[in-house]
Structure 1
């Protein structure tokens, strides 16, 4: 089913794009949430009329993403974790741990933005990319250190 996006959806495309999606996805999610409209001649005509507004919104989103990328570039967060004698973590450091550590530093990002391929299971320093916008992925430094034991 062809729809026209009324907002940018990372997995589909940018605002104003005409995309082909499954009928159920369009009918149950995109259309009721007003994230898209059906691709009809009338809606295409309206899209052409609103193209300037979409271009301005895309430019604003891109500028905001680049500003956020500058703020994130070089950010480092330290996560304390319980370790065994061989310096292996008992659990693992996940995306949620990274988001929580960043929020304690005053940086609010969503879990979906952190591109951690797999959970961190060893002590050390890791570079983790954060997708702020399509094609804008600054890297943050995550340092996993042993938790202080209080005996």
Structure 2
């Protein structure tokens, strides 16, 4: 099955890429989640628009990614979250919360889709998350989740 990716899919490609996948994977996973659309001749025109939007958001090269990594890893990021008396959060810390905390700390603008949270953050304290800056480079962010005032 030939598909056009609309979002980044690990191990497959980025937005605007045309990929060939097994029918079941495309029909049952990628398309229902909005990660891909079926390839058509008219879809080729959409590819150009998707790639243009991707280039605007994308970090240009590996050198720029290294600069952003140095900025991110030098920051102390504090994420306020509502919690109970035992330290458990009401909900969890989301990538959007992390992007906002990085912005508040004076860090660079990052795309929330590039933040990878290994285990859901549901407690107060220190946590580590990864940010894919470039296909060859990731940054590790140290988060401090504190109770919201």
**Cα gap change, 1:100 to 1:24, in 2 (>3 Å):** closer
Unmatched tracts of structure 1, length 5 or more: 4-8, 37-59
- TM-score normalised by length of structure 2: 0.63
CA contact (8 A) 1:79 1:143 kept: yes
In structure 2, the residue matched to 1:78 is 78
Conserved 8 A contact 1:74-1:141: no
Q: Is 1:140 the equivalent of 2:141?
A: yes
Aligned-pair CA distance for 1:24: 5.1
Superimposed CA distance per residue, residues 31-70 of structure 1 (whole angstroms, 9 cap, x where no aligned partner): 223449xxxxxxxxxxxxxxxxxxxxxxx52222222222
Inter-partner Cα distance in structure 2 for 1:93 and 1:81: 7
1:119 corresponding residue in structure 2: 120
Which residue does the alignment assign to 2:57?
none
CA contact (8 A) 1:10 1:134 kept: no
* TM-score computed with the length of structure 1 as normaliser: 0.62
**Relative to total residues, which structure has the larger strand share, 1 or 2?**
2
Aligned match of 1:89: 89
1:32 to 45, 49, 62: 45
In the aligned structure 1, how far is the partner of 2:96 from the partner of 2:44?
Answer: 30
After superposition, the CA RMSD in angstroms is: 3.3
Pair member with larger Rg: 1
For these two proteins, the number of residue pairs brought into alignment is: 119
Q: Is the 8 A contact 1:77 1:102 kept in 2?
A: yes
